[in-house]
């Protein structure tokens, strides 16, 4: 497996995963705008096919995971783990030692994944999503900064 920067020719693979994974996927123009505006956009490639990606950026001195997803046929193979590790490594290299994210309260799988990766729940925000679901706000902080 190769972990590398996103390139525009990956967009169809990324969209297929995004639309499978989320009930409210980011549309193609937002994904491309994120890429063009300099957000971190890393993919996992297996056999010349993108099987996962992570998008992140830095806002107000804090890293933020915007989206992470792995093709359901490739989940639980540590691909999400490697993508998240890479994003955090890039943020740390940019002297950003706190990383935050929001996750749907019902997305227990993802919450467990983030807990295993060392994130902790810091708060909960009611009606965060368009359909009224609450978000769990989670944060990861480098231990010795």
Report if residue 107 touches ligand COA, rule: CB under 6 A: yes
Exposure letters 82-113 (e unless 16+ CB within 10 A, then b): bbbebbbebbeeeebbebbbbbbbebeebbeb
The strand pair at 98-104 and 62-70 is best described as parallel
CA nearest to 69, candidates 33, 93, 104, 120: 104
Contact 46, 74 (CB under 8 A): yes
Report if residue 112 touches ligand COA, rule: CB under 6 A: yes
Site string for ligand COA, 52-91 (x = CB under 6 A): ----------------xxx----xxxxxxx----------
Report if residue 139 touches ligand COA, rule: CB under 6 A: no
Looking at the Cβ atoms of 68 and 95, the one nearer to ligand COA is 68
Q: Which stretch binds ligand COA (CB under 6 A): 3-11, 56-64, 102-110, 129-137?
A: 102-110
Q: Which residues bind ligand COA (CB under 6 A)?
A: 21, 68-70, 75-81, 103, 107, 109-110, 112-113, 116
């Amino acid at each position: 497996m190769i972990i590398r920067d996103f390139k525009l020719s990956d967009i169809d693979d990324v969209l297929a995963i995004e639309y499978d994974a989320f009930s409210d996927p980011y549309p193609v123009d937002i994904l491309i705008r994120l890429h063009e505006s300099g957000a971190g956009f890393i993919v996992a490639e297996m056999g010349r096919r993108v099987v996962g990606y992570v998008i992140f950026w830095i806002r107000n001195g804090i890293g933020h995971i915007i989206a992470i997803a792995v093709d359901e046929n490739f989940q639980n193979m540590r691909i999400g783990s490697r993508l998240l590790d890479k994003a955090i490594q890039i943020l740390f290299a940019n002297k950003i030692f706190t990383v935050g994210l929001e996750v749907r309260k019902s997305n227990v799988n993802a919450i467990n994944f983030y807990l295993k990766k060392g994130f902790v729940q810091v708060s909960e925000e009611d009606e965060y999503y368009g359909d009224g679901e609450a978000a769990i706000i989670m944060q990861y902080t480098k231990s010795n900064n």
